[in-house]
């Protein structure tokens, strides 16, 4: 079920971006088999009902052993896609690099995600999201005037510029394969991806429309018509009234005199305009303002916590969050009218599908028991 039904994916266990890419594909109908270690490791973070491990089967395999490597390659031989998130050279040392996998399956799309990319001076260095987005120029602009840059969680590197771009690259390679009949390697770097996410910002910089420092421009909280404001209950609303017509609706909603806030396009007047807007917004609660803004084009919305977002009427109507294993999680996205994906399945117990997957590969029960006794499989 879903637009990717019939697509077979092998995922080598890893951290955030690679599992997220596999989740995106699994959510849309791909059959994902996750290969973990035969014994639990300490460098892979997972927890019960983790959205990054949902909707796939999970096996345990010692890929450092010759027998484990052989089983992994048998899975690869039947797959359309492999996803791995190790440092450059790791899968090559395991005998599961692109050349090894393409030797048994020339049509395989080999998707790999790293922070720095497969080459370049930093390719072998350690790092995390904050390092990658810092080098990409995506971190420095985020924050208030006169304050230090603020990490936007790990959304730009790990997920937006990482896992999501990897999934897109894999799908692009699958489309190309329809013409060439051949697989290829997708080298997804979180630095490259985070830099791509700054395309609009770079364009504004090039034309001089983003010339001031952090927190002093139109989209970084510098402008009074694009910012968050505290309300009477200590919560916040988001204001995005960029266009003149929307700004007019906001001014009407707030009961302000248009002449008092006429300098909204003059950066020199932004502090004065901001304080007038802020003073009015402090007179009501967040939800009161949100209710008043309904049905208008004032571009004022509540700033919800991740938990509150689950129950907002719009998100409920859109089924933006769904129940998975007894807990709310983000639903698969985007939506499809002819081939909608089914609901996500709760994560399986780690390595619980080992015997079932190996049976599908043609291994006999006695052989599976022998491999388990030898520590090759979970």
Tokens of 118: 């497969």
pLDDT digits (tens, 9 = 90+) for 288-331: 999 999 999 999 999 999 999 999 999 999 999 999 999 999 99
Q: Which residues are catalytic?
A: 128, 158
* Each residue's pLDDT expressed in tens, for the chain with a length of 378 residues: 899 999 999 999 998 999 999 999 999 999 999 999 998 765 566 678 999 999 999 999 999 999 999 999 999 999 999 999 999 999 999 999 999 999 999 999 999 999 999 999 999 999 999 999 999 999 999 999 999 999 999 999 999 999 999 999 999 999 999 999 999 999 999 999 999 999 999 999 999 889 999 999 999 999 999 999 999 999 999 999 999 999 999 999 999 999 999 989 999 999 999 999 999 999 999 999 999 999 999 999 999 999 999 999 999 999 999 999 999 999 999 999 999 999 999 999 999 999 999 999 999 999 999 999 999 998
Superfamily of chain region 226-309 = formyl-coa transferase, domain 3 (3.30.1540.10)
User: Are 274 and 298 in contact, with CB atoms under 8 Å apart?
Assistant: no
Check: CB of residue 22 under 8 Å from CB of residue 363: no
Q: Where are the domains of the chain?
A: 8-197+322-373, 226-309
Give the right CATH number for 8-197+322-373 from 3.40.50.300, 3.40.50.10540, 3.40.50.10780, 3.40.50.720: 3.40.50.10540
Q: Return the ∠ at Cα 299 (arms to 289 and 159), rounded to 5°.
A: 105
Let me know: does 193 contact 160? Beta carbons within 8 Å: yes
Domains 8-197+322-373 and 226-309 share a fold: no
- Pairing relation of β-strands 81-84 and 31-36? unpaired
């Amino acid at each position: 079920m879903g637009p990717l039904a019939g697509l077979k994916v092998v995922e080598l266990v890893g951290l955030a971006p690679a599992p997220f890419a596999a989740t995106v594909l699994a959510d849309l109908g791909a059959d994902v088999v996750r290969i973990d270690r035969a014994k639990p490791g300490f460098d892979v973070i997972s927890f019960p009902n983790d959205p990054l491990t949902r909707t796939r089967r999970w096996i345990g395999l010692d890929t450092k052993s010759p027998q484990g490597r052989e089983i992994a390659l048998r899975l690869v031989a039947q797959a359309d896609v492999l996803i791995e998130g190790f440092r450059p050279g790791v899968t090559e040392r395991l005998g599961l690099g692109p050349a090894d996998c393409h030797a048994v399956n020339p049509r395989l799309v080999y998707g790999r995600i790293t922070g720095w990319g497969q080459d370049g001076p930093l390719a072998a260095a350690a790092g995390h999201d904050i390092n990658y987005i810092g080098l990409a120029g995506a971190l420095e602009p985020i924050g208030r005037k006169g304050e230090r840059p603020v990490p936007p969680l790990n959304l730009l590197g790990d997920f937006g510029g990482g896992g999501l771009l990897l999934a897109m690259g894999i799908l692009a390679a699958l489309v190309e394969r329809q013409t060439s009949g051949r697989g290829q390697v997708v080298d997804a770097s979180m630095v490259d991806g985070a830099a791509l996410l700054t395309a609009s910002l770079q364009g504004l910089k090039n034309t001089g429309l983003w010339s001031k420092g952090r927190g002093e421009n139109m989209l970084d909280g510098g402008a009074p018509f694009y910012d968050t404001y505290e309300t009477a209950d200590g919560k916040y609303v988001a204001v995005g009234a960029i266009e003149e017509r929307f700004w007019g609706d906001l001014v009407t909603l707030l009961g302000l005199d248009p002449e008092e806030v006429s300098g909204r396009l003059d950066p020199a007047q932004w502090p004065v305009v901001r304080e007038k807007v802020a003073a009015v917004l402090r007179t009501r609660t967040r939800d009161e303002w949100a209710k008043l803004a309904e049905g208008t084009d004032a571009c004022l919305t509540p700033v919800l916590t991740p938990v509150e977002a689950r129950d907002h009427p719009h998100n409920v109507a859109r089924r933006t969050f769904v129940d998975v294993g007894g807990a709310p999680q983000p639903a698969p996205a985007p939506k499809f009218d002819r081939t909608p994906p089914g609901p996500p399945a709760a994560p399986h117990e780690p390595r619980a599908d080992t015997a079932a997957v190996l049976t599908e590969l043609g291994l006999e029960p006695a052989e599976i028991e022998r491999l388990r006794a030898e520590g090759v499989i979970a």
